[in-house]
Amino acid sequence: MRLAIISDEISQDFEHALKVVKELGVGYVELRTLWNRYVVDFSDSELHEVKSLVERYELGVSHICSPTFKIYIDNDRDYEKHLSILRRAIEITKFFDLEYTRIFTFWWQGSLELYVDKIVEKFQPAIEMAEKEGIYLIIENEYSCFVGTGNELKLLIDKLKSRWIRVLWDPGNAFFARETPYPHGYSKVRDYVMYMHLKDAAVENGRFVFKPIGKGMIDYEGQLKDAINKNIILSLETHYVPPSGSREEGTRESFKGLMDVLRRVLEK
């Protein structure tokens, strides 16, 4: 089982985040925004500095988070820009010796069924790029995009019919998209999942809120019991911020909850 934490869920001070990851005993760090900049905007020399820092703390990089296709589907200028972002994300992915990078499915504007053929069309240049570079595109289910649930992911995967498409499964996002993440949503895509973002959630007084792992409404015991026997990286992306306002404190609380759930799973 490989565990990671997204560094900016701890701090934008990347070295401080690495210290916390190391202290918690986690072996991998996921890169999204560092020092208030997206990792895909870093120069080659800056990336070498990032790699040196990661190696100094004896950690591995689990993933390069790209915002690819978090745009409106009909915005042609942004579309061309995001193909360039994906190209850079793939370069950085290969620099860190990884074989996958995430993409999204455009901002939500209506039911997936109304847009799925257009999404398939827009994905084709990205798939061709991935195939040429030998990099998997892992689609993240995101409740603010066309694909937010496992059921919707499966519909799109069936339409795409590409061996270079896999899944970044996010149970918390599925919950926010009003799907029961486990077992229902996960069962639709479990054979395609390469990576998993871990965040818990609940409904409180009619509002969707993020919670520390194990304190929400998602069946993480069932989810993790299934996932730990697969070649899936589990990455903590808590999104939970406690009353103190400290993201680091929220990550620490969620990590403790995650360890408690894993302990119960492994003891059964």
User: CATH for 2-267?
Assistant: 3.20.20.150
pLDDT at residue number 72: 98
Q: Supply 202's token pair.
A: 């609940």
Q: Supply 211's token pair.
A: 């919670």
Most distant CA atoms of the chain, gap in Å: 53
CA distance 268 to 263: 9
The pairing of strands 37-38 and 60-64 is unpaired
pLDDT exceeds cutoff 90 at 268: no
pLDDT at residue number 203: 98
pLDDT at residue number 229: 85
Average pLDDT for residues 148-168, to the nearest whole number? 98
Task: Give the model confidence (pLDDT) of 100-136 as tens digits.
Answer: 999 999 999 999 999 999 999 999 999 999 999 999 9
Task: Give the model confidence (pLDDT) of 4-62 as tens digits.
Answer: 999 999 999 999 999 999 999 999 999 999 999 999 999 999 999 999 999 999 999 99
Count of C-beta atoms within a 10 Å radius of residue 174: 29
pLDDT at residue number 1: 81
Please give the single-letter amino acid code of residue 99. E
pLDDT exceeds cutoff 90 at 224: yes
Task: Give the model confidence (pLDDT) of 193-207 as tens digits.
Answer: 999 999 999 999 999
pLDDT at residue number 131: 98
The confidence band for 237, taking pLDDT boundaries of 50, 70 and 90, is very high
Number of residues assigned to the chain: 268
Residue 136 CB-density burial (10 A; 0-12 exposed, 13-18 middle, 19+ buried): buried
User: What residue segments make up the domains of the chain, in order of their start?
Assistant: 2-267
Contacts within 8 Å (CB) and 24+ apart, 19-25: 19/57, 20/248, 20/251, 20/252, 21/57, 21/59, 22/57, 22/58, 22/59, 24/252, 24/255
Nearest-5° angle of CA 217, CA 219, CA 224?
Answer: 140
